[in-house]
Structures are given as structure tokens and as C-alpha cells.
Amino acid sequence: MSGHPATPDKMPSPAPATASASGADGSHTATGAVVETVLTEALPVPDMVFGGGMLVLVIMFHAFWIRLITGVFLKRSKSAGVHARLWRADLLFAGTVVCLLSLHMAEVFIWSVALVFGNIVEGWARASYFAANCYTALGEPFSLPHAWRLLPPIIAISGIFTFAWTASVLVNFVARYNDLRAETMARREKGGKPRESGR
């Protein structure tokens, strides 16, 4: 009778080996799931694909119009009419600044269109308000769904890039504008002296 209880104790011995094997497979699967979840949380795909694509689009849009505005400004600044009157130089510079401002407003509108048609923000007014705040790096006025939490920083990055680009171009515009005024005033002084001597 003492030999019978020993056999049931020895019978379940293969079971732990099977359980450990399945446990090893399960732990491997669980580890893979944890890594995938961590990567998804750290780098959400919708944010990176949608936001990155829109970021490139906005930068290329800005590049095209900046080149166009710069070309027009330089061409007009070399014309004889701008050198003839001070107010024409002032008007050229003011028009250029308005064009730059309009360019940035258009880029905010592009982000607003993306937010509305992407079903991320409902309503044009809310989308424009959200895009303008993020684009100017003021911060998000309200929170987006969790899946789009990286989109506000991407919008802010696009604004930082384009504003820095505009600022660098505007420095050259101001320098050229000051040269125009100086040249116009110098021509006016030279033109006024002969008239006084003739009188």
C-alpha cells in the first residue's frame, strides 16, 4: 500500500514541463505585445504620418510663396518709379509685409482644412482657432483625442520653421527698404540744389 501513493505523485511530473513551455511562449508573446504597445504609445502612427505629411506640405507651400514674394520685391525695388518718391518705397515695403502676413494666414487655413477634413476637430471656427494657437506656439486651446496628441507640437514646429524663414527674409527686406529711402533722399537733395542755384 505504500507503493500506490507514490505513483500519483510521479504522474503529474510532466505537466510542469508543458506548463513551463507554454509559459515561455506566453511570456515571449506578452513581451512582444508590451514592446509594440510602448512603441505605439511613444510614436503613434496617425500623428506621425498625417502630421508629418502636412508639415512637409506647409513648408513647401511657404517656400514657393516666399520665393515669389522675394522676387517681386527685388524686381520692384530696382524700378525707377520706386526711387523717384519716398512714398512708393514705403508702399512697396508695406505691401510686402501684408503679403507675408497673408502667407502665414493661408498656412493656418491649410491646417484648419486638414483638421476639419481629417475629422479631428469639428467646425471651421474651432479648427481655425486651434490651428492658429498651435501654429503660433501659444499652446493648444483644448485637447485633441488621445490618438492625435502629437499633432499640436507638429503644427507648432511648422509655425516655428516658417516664422524663422520669414524673419530671415524680412531682415533683408528692411535693409533694402532703408537703402531705397537713402537713395531716394540723396537723389532728391541732388535734384534740389540745381533748382535753387537756377533761381
DSSP state of 139: -
**CB neighbour class for 22 (10 Å; exposed up to 12, middle 13-18, buried from 19):** exposed
The per-residue pLDDT for 60 is 97
Which portions of the chain are predicted below pLDDT 50?
A: 1-24, 34-36, 39, 193-199
CB distance 59 to 158 below 8 Å: yes
In the numeric block, which cell numbers belong to residue 61? 507651400
Q: Could you read off the pLDDT of 79-132 as tens digits, one per residue?
A: 877 777 788 888 999 999 999 999 999 999 999 999 999 999 999 999 999 999
Q: Is 133 left (phi over 0), alpha (psi -120 to 50) or beta?
A: alpha
Q: What does residue 43 show for φ and ψ, rounded to 5 degrees? A: -130, 80
Q: Are 155 and 113 in contact (CB under 8 A)?
A: no
Q: What are the residues whose beta carbons fall under 8 Å from the beta carbon of 154, sequence distance 6 or more?
A: 47, 51, 52, 54, 55
- Whether the CB-CB separation of 62 and 162 falls below 8 Å is answered with yes
Element (H, E) at 90: helix 86-117
Averaged pLDDT score across all residues of the chain: 80
Residue 31 has a pLDDT of: 59
Comparing CA positions, the residue from 172, 189, 18, 184 lying closest to residue 96 is 172
pLDDT the model gives residue 180: 86
| The pLDDT value given to residue 65 | 97
C-beta separation of 92 from 76 below 8 A: yes
pLDDT value of residue 37: 54
Decide: 60 and 103 in contact? Cβ < 8 Å: no
CB atoms inside a 10 Å sphere around CB 82: 21
Look up the pTM and report it: 0.71
- Residue 43's pLDDT is 58
Give the count of alpha carbons within 13 A of 175, CB side only.
6
pLDDT value, residue 17: 44
What's the length of the chain?
199
Give percent of the chain above pLDDT 90.
Answer: 51
